[in-house]
Amino acid sequence: MSRAIEFVPAGKLYAEGLITAHWDMVSDDHSGEFSLSESPLVQHLCPLIDGRPSGVWTLIRQSAAVMELHLVSARGAKTGPILAALIDHIRTTSPEVSRLRAWVASDNRPAMVAARRHMQHIGTEPGAFLRGGKYHDLHLFGVAI
């Protein structure tokens, strides 16, 4: 059964609360405390699955053709269908964008599994992410829009 997925702007309190709760998995040792960006180049979106919030998916405009994805999913949210819906959303709202990319730290196992399953591995930047006093590789993944 197909579930309805739509994207709405993530409310400030919801986005800050969810991202802050998972900040240790998405930040490095030099990130400091999280604050929600209000830049026009950044969109904090909340995927609603059958009307229920299921995370915060942040899009950061890197160029006219590229957006970078950062996400914190709610427990149990399925990344594949949400990513497919996000690509459709980007095609509709930003037709000039041709590429979506994501950097994933090698020690973030759930994110690595999802990225490998749904995106193309572009390359690796060895030792580029410091978390817990240890350097981890950063993997670049991408998908055509």
Rg (CA), the chain: 15
Domain 5-144 classified CATH 1.20.120.160?
Answer: no
83 CB contacts (<8 Å, ≥6 apart)?
A: 118, 119, 143
* Greater model confidence, 51 or 64: 64
Q: pLDDT by residue (tens digit) across 74-122?
A: 778 888 999 999 999 999 999 999 999 999 999 989 889 999 999 999 9
Q: What is the pLDDT of residue 56?
A: 85
Report how far residue 138's alpha carbon sits from residue 106's, in angstroms, rounded to the nearest whole number.
6
Map out the domains of the chain as residue ranges.
Answer: 5-144
